[in-house]
């Protein structure tokens, strides 16, 4: 190359180099981190796991970093001093990315200063459900190997929280079993029922899989497991037939999946701290609705559990009891604890399903020879909620649990209606006299009980309104 051309060539490269790094003393630009998304599989690709571990951090909540090997973890934004939360999805019939996963990750990162790792096993979870079940042990081993790399970096076992959805809950149980129950926490969001209701403890989620195991049940009559599998098991609205979900098969896919996925959206709502989702231990859902379980004394010594990230769900006793069924009521849509005026009365599914729970009682002055049915309706500025209580024949007292969106001191009025015996040939003019009382749950002492000052006179089929004056504490 001639000398002059060589000099111009050198100068050109020098100019390009100067432009690329800036003037002297300027730092080179930071390379962009590569973001990785979930895989998509088709029905013929459901035999190979092809697991991906995607790290999301508070600094980059929407950028998943692929962290398969120890070097990947060390070069990522993983912080060994923070807690680590693993999200494990369940069966993916069509081999697609879960529609809820991005919202879940973002909400979790806002609620907790933690490393969030999403486990992508779409390939192994697609196709036939029973093939996905066969992959649970393999996936459990892969996740266990991955966690061992975190432990080498100094991550304590007790700081690891696994959140498993449906089949993913039993994967989490498998991982916890491999770590001899020393992981910090496992949350099962409507753990899968098919193939697991009669499974051994080694094969499914159970209280021995972590220091604290909880499960939220929303579809026990279909896709979810009907037995308790944790230290605490939340049976939301009894564990089945969630308000707002379709009740007829013509709704198609939504009919099949709505109840099952309610656990996911309920948990997301709880993470957003939009309202307290408190539950009460009881032998059955019917007994809970009948007002027989009011104070969380047995077995939690008054510490009622709450859905969310509170340590041990707010339960402050040791050792933890196991497989305790707890119940709560919710509304038909997020945030599942507010029944707004625009929903009432046009949207009857909202009726009676908010989140503050109250005991309501009616005492007859004299017993009757037949069952007595009384509707109790609470009204505030923007909320209406109702419950129907029964006073059995020859008894004086009937009670039930009513749920409402506002604290009890914001309830302005109560409406009482004594239901007619439906005499066709003439109007029922039966009158009853009694006393109405109410108290917010949990009822730890009788000081919370507020009663209407005068005896209540109710005539069949007529509604009577009374002002409620309850002091806010």
**Considering 166, 313, 358, 385, which one is annotated as catalytic?**
166
d(CA 97, CA 267): 19
Backbone angles phi, psi at 138, to 5 degrees: -60, -45
Q: For residue 406, what pLDDT is reported?
A: 76
What's the token pair of residue 100? 């809820």
**Cross-strand pairs, 279:** none
**Cross-strand pairs, 417:** 375, 463
Does residue 112 contact residue 89 with C-beta atoms inside 8 Å? no
For residues 381-408, one letter each, b for 16 or more C-beta atoms within 10 angstroms of the residue's C-beta and e for the rest, the string is: eebbbbbbbbbeeeebebbbbbbbbbeb
- pLDDT tens, N- to C-terminus, the chain (473 residues): 444 434 433 333 333 333 333 333 444 444 457 899 999 987 655 457 899 999 999 999 999 999 998 889 989 999 999 999 999 999 999 899 999 999 999 999 999 999 999 999 999 999 899 999 999 999 999 999 999 999 999 999 999 999 999 999 999 999 999 999 999 999 999 999 999 999 999 999 999 999 999 999 999 999 999 999 999 999 999 999 999 999 888 777 788 899 999 999 999 999 987 677 899 999 999 999 999 998 899 999 989 999 999 999 999 999 999 999 999 998 888 888 744 333 333 333 333 334 688 899 999 999 999 999 999 999 887 678 889 999 999 999 999 998 887 778 888 899 999 998 766 666 778 899 999 999 888 887 666 789 999 999 999 989 999 998 887 76
Among this protein's residues, is 190 annotated catalytic?
Answer: yes
Backbone angles phi, psi at 364, to 5 degrees: -75, 145
Report which of 263, 178, 172, 162 is spatially closest to residue 220, judged by C-alpha positions. Answer: 263
Among this protein's residues, is 233 annotated catalytic?
Answer: no
In the chain, the domains with their CATH numbers are: 52-328 (3.40.50.1820), 341-467 (2.60.60.20)
**Considering 260, 356, 357, 404, which one is annotated as catalytic?**
260
Length of the chain in terms of residues written: 473
**Considering 125, 159, 170, 190, which one is annotated as catalytic?**
190
Report which of 260, 251, 99, 243 is spatially closest to residue 194, judged by C-alpha positions. Answer: 260
- Tens digits of per-residue pLDDT, 289-315? 999 998 899 999 989 999 999 999 999
Counts for the chain of helices (H) and strands (E), in that order: 10, 19
Among this protein's residues, is 404 annotated catalytic?
Answer: no
Report which of 173, 52, 50, 61 is spatially closest to residue 109, judged by C-alpha positions. Answer: 61
d(CA 205, CA 191): 8
């Amino acid at each position: 190359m001639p000398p002059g051309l060589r000099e111009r060539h050198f100068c050109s490269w020098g100019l390009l180099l100067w432009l690329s790094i800036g003037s002297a003393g300027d730092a080179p630009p930071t390379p962009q981190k590569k973001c990785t998304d979930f895989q998509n599989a088709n029905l013929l690709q459901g035999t190979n796991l092809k697991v991906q571990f995607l790290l999301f951090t508070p600094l980059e909540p929407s950028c998943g970093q692929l962290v398969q090997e120890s070097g990947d973890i060390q070069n990522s934004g993983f912080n060994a001093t923070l807690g680590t939360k693993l999200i494990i999805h369940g069966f993916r019939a069509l081999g697609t990315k879960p529609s809820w996963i991005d919202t879940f990750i973002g909400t979790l990162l806002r609620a907790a200063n933690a490393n969030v790792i999403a486990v992508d096993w779409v390939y192994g979870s697609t196709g036939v459900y029973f093939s996905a079940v066969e992959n649970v042990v393999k996936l459990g081993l892969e996740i266990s190997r991955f966690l061992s790399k975190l432990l080498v970096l100094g991550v304590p076992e007790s700081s690891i929280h696994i959140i498993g959805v449906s089949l993913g809950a039993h994967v989490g149980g498998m991982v916890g079993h491999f770590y001899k129950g020393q992981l910090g926490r496992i949350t099962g969001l409507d753990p899968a029922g098919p193939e697991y209701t009669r499974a051994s403890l080694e094969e499914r989620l159970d209280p021995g899989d972590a220091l604290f195991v909880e499960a939220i049940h929303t579809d026990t009559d279909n896709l979810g497991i009907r037995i308790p599998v944790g230290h605490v098991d939340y049976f939301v609205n009894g564990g089945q037939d969630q308000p707002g979900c379709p009740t007829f098969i013509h709704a198609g896919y939504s009919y099949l999946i709505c109840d099952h996925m309610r656990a996911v959206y309920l948990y997301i709502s709880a993470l957003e701290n939009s309202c307290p989702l408190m539950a009460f231990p009881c032998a059955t859902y019917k007994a809970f609705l009948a007002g027989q379980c009011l104070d969380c004394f047995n077995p939690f010594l008054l510490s009622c559990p709450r859905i969310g990230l509170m340590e041990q769900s707010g339960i402050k006793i040791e050792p933890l009891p196991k497989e305790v069924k707890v119940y709560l009521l919710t509304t038909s849509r997020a945030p599942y604890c507010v029944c707004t005026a625009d929903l009432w009365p046009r949207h009857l599914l909202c009726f009676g399903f908010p989140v503050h729970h109250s005991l309501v009682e009616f005492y007859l002055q004299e017993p009757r020879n037949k069952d007595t049915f009384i509707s109790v309706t609470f009204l505030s500025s923007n909320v209406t909620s109702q419950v129907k209580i029964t006073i059995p024949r020859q008894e004086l007292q009937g009670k039930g649990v009513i749920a409402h969106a506002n604290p009890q001191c914001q309830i302005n009025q109560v409406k009482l209606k004594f239901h007619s015996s439906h005499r066709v040939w003439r109007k029922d003019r039966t009158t009853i006299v009694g006393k109405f009382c109410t108290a917010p749950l949990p009822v730890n002492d009788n000081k919370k009980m507020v009663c209407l000052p005068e005896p209540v006179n109710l005539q069949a089929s007529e509604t009577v309104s009374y002002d409620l004056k309850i002091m806010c504490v």
